Structure 1
Amino acid sequence: MWSIGELAGHAGVSVKTVRFYSDRGLLPETARSAGGHRRYGPVALDRLRLIRSLRTLDLPVREVGRVLDEEDALEDVVAGQLRALGSQLAALRWREAALRLLQDCTAQERAERLHLVGAMTAPPSTQALARFWRRWLPPRLPARLVTAFLEQTVPQLPDDPDPAQALAFARLHAFVSRPCPGDERGQPAAHRPQEGYRPAVLYDGLAEAYALASPALRAERPPQPGEALDCFVAAYARSRGARDTPAFRHRLGGVLAADPRIDHYWQLVAELTGPARPTPGAAHDWLLGALDADNAGSAA
């Protein structure tokens, strides 16, 4: 049996360290001397060495206790620490990109950029973007469609952004955080109940149409009639209970041309994510171009 000083000597730590872990229940004593002093056996030395190894990995004392007391807890604790470390690393990379953004600019640009990056957390959150789109979407849209729409419209943030991407997201965050008008001027016609659309039917079809248009966008092909446009028009026709006819396509072209636009949002998303993943905004514009071309051809 060893005294607390002897155990500390065998383990190569201070007496204060042994007492700290003992007081927190991580290093139970084996017995007490006649004078009431703690005594430890060889098992305590093995346990103390394990504690030191775990603490070297910066595991919190509470998590060290879990590993010591719960069978198979180490795998779960390590996974949790890796998630936390990943978040910390992402925060540091975003902070580095923001600092480089402030470093590589003129004095006039620095004040604006400082204001933009100061409004974000590190790593940044996309919650403001999701709130923006939830306000913009038509009311009472089924939850599955809202979720699918947000997955397409709210971009995934890069773990290792460059300064240009940090600036794009800062501007995007500022754009969606501005107050929106309280009336329907910012809403497409399809969101207005008096227009007779069924938004749930429309959004189901639009998702498919955007997916069909994406290969043409990635290949940089000009807008043209085809399967993607037919799917796009069919989505609007079904949502109105109408048939896809040349007359309907001409009316639809006029309605969509008058809809409000959010081009700035999609431009910033493209700067953030790059050209490999076409945005729904770019797909919508491509399909509008295809509709215009189709209407012009039928008129001719």
Structure 2
Amino acid sequence: MTDRDTLFTIGQLAQRTGLDARTIRFWSDAGLVPPTTRSAAGYRLYDTEAAARLDLVHTLRELDIDLATVRAVVDRQTSLAAVAAAHARALDVEIRALRVRRAVLRSVAHRNSTTEELRIMHELATLSAAERQRIIDDFVDEAFAGIEPDAPGAHIADGMRSMPATLPDDPSPEQVDAWIELAELVRDQGFRDRCREMAVTGARAEDAQAAPEIDMAAGTAALEAGIAPDSAAAADILTRAVPDGIDRIALADRMATFTDGRVERYWSLLAIINGRPARPPMVPGAEWLIAALRAHP
């Protein structure tokens, strides 16, 4: 008798594979590993081909592939390669979800968050890419509603929509925190109203043409140097930073319209989420210039 002619009982298959005899019997009853023949006493017997089939079923089940798919593979209704590819994709999704969950837990530990904060963080962090983008799109659509695409400043809307298709495979606690903060920010009606005001004002052609060229870096440098906006030194800085003949109060009012720390934070959060380097803060310097312009009209 050759190896090909060797027949195994369920008990012998169990010893050969390390599987429980009840599991083999269940798979046999399910038609995944049908017996080759039966003994005179009615016991199921399996040849080497059936044993190899059992090995395949065992491997697929170890990979957590469902019984219906296992049956399709062993019956050759679908290829093993196709099943492996599909299962790998499913595992990729599961792994990403686990990594996001891990990042949320790390963030909770870092922030010492409450139970309610944990729930909110988990809900926001596990939104699909489409759901995250929809939150941002709704906010941007409201801010730029009725503004022509070619209006001054309208192109900013494209940048404000720049959410990544997915959170990174292994998001850092900072990225999870940034997404949560961003989602909370765009849901704040006061922030939405402020962005709408900036978008509408910026889209007016006459306002865009009236904007003078001023040295914004001068405000940052003066702030870092500890110079008070109402000091004589500040007046000297304005002389160099602002063109002659400018209505300084009107300029200060215009700058105030487009200066908001929360808007700057919006761009910083987008940079963190997209893995881009953060831009240096401009608002503190701009606020110094606004105060200096009003102090020295």
Q: Distance in 2 between matches of 1:127 and 1:105?
A: 27
> Does the CA contact (< 8 Å) of 1:27 and 1:48 recur in 2?
yes
Residue number among 38, 42, 48 corresponding to 2:48 in the alignment:
42
3-state secondary structure, aligned to 1:89: helix
* Equivalent residues in 2 for 1:177-192, closer than 5 Å: 177=187, 186=196, 188-189=199-200
* 1:153 corresponds to 2:157: no
Q: Distance in 2 between matches of 1:72 and 1:61?
A: 13
* Equivalent residues in 2 for 1:10-89, closer than 5 Å: 10-33=16-39, 36-70=42-76, 73-89=79-95
* 1:265 corresponds to 2:266: yes
> Does the CA contact (< 8 Å) of 2:33 and 2:54 recur in 1?
yes
Paired amino acid for 1:154: M
How high is the TM-score relative to the length of structure 1? 0.54
Q: Distance in 2 between matches of 1:75 and 1:151?
A: 42
3-state secondary structure, aligned to 2:31: coil
Q: Which runs of 5+ in 2 are unaligned?
A: 1-6, 149-156, 205-216, 218-252, 287-297
Q: Distance in 1 between matches of 2:173 and 2:27?
A: 45
Q: Distance in 2 between matches of 1:115 and 1:52?
A: 38
Seen in structure 2, the aligned counterparts of structure 1 residues 24 and 149 have a Cα distance that, compared at 3 Å, is farther
Seen in structure 2, the aligned counterparts of structure 1 residues 277 and 48 have a Cα distance that, compared at 3 Å, is farther
Q: Distance in 2 between matches of 1:63 and 1:98?
A: 34
Paired amino acid for 1:84: A
> Does the CA contact (< 8 Å) of 1:128 and 1:177 recur in 2?
no
Q: Distance in 2 between matches of 1:52 and 1:126?
A: 36
Counterpart position of 1:117: 121
What is the number of equivalent residue pairs in this alignment? Answer: 215
Q: Distance in 2 between matches of 1:177 and 1:36?
A: 71
Deviations 1:88-141 (Å, cap 9, x if unpaired)?
2222222222222222235xx65785354143354x433343223443437899
Q: Distance in 1 between matches of 2:160 and 2:43?
A: 62
Seen in structure 2, the aligned counterparts of structure 1 residues 259 and 70 have a Cα distance that, compared at 3 Å, is farther
RMSD: 4.4
> Does the CA contact (< 8 Å) of 1:26 and 1:68 recur in 2?
yes
Seen in structure 2, the aligned counterparts of structure 1 residues 72 and 170 have a Cα distance that, compared at 3 Å, is same
Q: Distance in 1 between matches of 2:255 and 2:29?
A: 71
> Does the CA contact (< 8 Å) of 1:189 and 1:255 recur in 2?
no
Q: Distance in 1 between matches of 2:9 and 2:106?
A: 55
CA deviation after TM superposition for structure 1 residue 45, in Å: 0.9
Seen in structure 2, the aligned counterparts of structure 1 residues 185 and 179 have a Cα distance that, compared at 3 Å, is closer
Q: Distance in 1 between matches of 2:16 and 2:103?
A: 47
Seen in structure 2, the aligned counterparts of structure 1 residues 128 and 14 have a Cα distance that, compared at 3 Å, is closer
Seen in structure 2, the aligned counterparts of structure 1 residues 113 and 133 have a Cα distance that, compared at 3 Å, is closer
Q: Distance in 1 between matches of 2:12 and 2:60?
A: 22
* Equivalent residues in 2 for 1:108-147, closer than 5 Å: 110=114, 113-114=117-118, 116-120=120-124, 122=126, 124-135=127-138, 136-137=140-141
Seen in structure 2, the aligned counterparts of structure 1 residues 103 and 173 have a Cα distance that, compared at 3 Å, is same
Counterpart position of 2:275: 274
Q: Which runs of 5+ in 1 are unaligned?
A: 142-147, 196-221, 223-253, 290-300
CA deviation after TM superposition for structure 1 residue 152, in Å: 5.6
CA deviation after TM superposition for structure 1 residue 19, in Å: 0.9
Seen in structure 2, the aligned counterparts of structure 1 residues 64 and 130 have a Cα distance that, compared at 3 Å, is same
CA deviation after TM superposition for structure 1 residue 159, in Å: 1.2
> Does the CA contact (< 8 Å) of 2:106 and 2:173 recur in 1?
yes
> Does the CA contact (< 8 Å) of 1:93 and 1:160 recur in 2?
yes
Q: Distance in 1 between matches of 2:193 and 2:110?
A: 41
* Equivalent residues in 2 for 1:240-255, closer than 5 Å: none
Deviations 1:237-284 (Å, cap 9, x if unpaired)?
xxxxxxxxxxxxxxxxx9999689854432311122233599xxx9xx
CA deviation after TM superposition for structure 1 residue 34, in Å: 5.2
Seen in structure 2, the aligned counterparts of structure 1 residues 121 and 165 have a Cα distance that, compared at 3 Å, is closer
Paired amino acid for 1:169: W
Structure whose alpha-carbon radius of gyration is higher: 2
